Amino acid sequence: MHDLIFTTEADTDVVSAFDWYEAQQEGRGRQFVLAVDEACDRIREAPLRHAVLVNGIRRMPTRRFPYGVFYVMRRETIHVIAVVHDSRNPAVWQQRAGDGGG
């Protein structure tokens, strides 16, 4: 399996979404984090399975939540650059691949 690293921005994305879901319903934030963890496990197993969207960025959808885990491969390491809601402007994750994402 490949190593997987979250950028600072991606960590912030997850914390923000956790806080929002937890405020809606206690325990829902934890369910969101588990869905992100599951997506990351699937990415680790086969990181090249998902098509490149732009600038080397790939997307793994989460189950039960309208979020995508956006990542790039750098050598043998997976860098998660964003975890964002599907309705967010794509510029949010597109610019992160070019700025080093972290």
- Strand extents, DSSP E, 1-102: 3-6, 58-61, 67-74, 77-85
pLDDT digits (tens, 9 = 90+) for 48-74: 999 999 989 999 999 999 999 999 998
Distances (CA, A) of 31 to 15, 71, 78: 13, 21, 23
Q: Residue 9 corresponds to which tokens in the numbers above?
A: 């921005």
User: According to the model, what pLDDT value does residue 102 have?
Assistant: 45
Do residues 68 and 60 lie in contact, with contact meaning Cβ atoms separated by under 8 Å? yes
Angle separating helix axes 28-45 and 8-24, nearest 10 degrees: 140
Q: With contact defined as beta carbons under 8 Å apart, do 56 and 97 qualify? A: yes
pLDDT > 70 in the chain, percent: 95
Q: What is the pLDDT of residue 8?
A: 96
Question: How confident is the model at residue 43, as a pLDDT?
Answer: 97
CB neighbours of residue 36 within 10 Å: 24
Domains of the chain: 3-98 (3.30.2310.20)
**pLDDT per residue as tens digits for the range 24-41:** 999 999 999 999 999 999
Give me the chain's average pLDDT, please: 92
Residue 101 has pLDDT above 50, yes or no: no
Residue in this structure with the two tokens 């997850």, named with its chain if needed: 14
Please give the pLDDT value at position 23. 98
**pLDDT higher for 61 or 97?**
61
Phi, psi of 42 (to 5 degrees): -65, -35
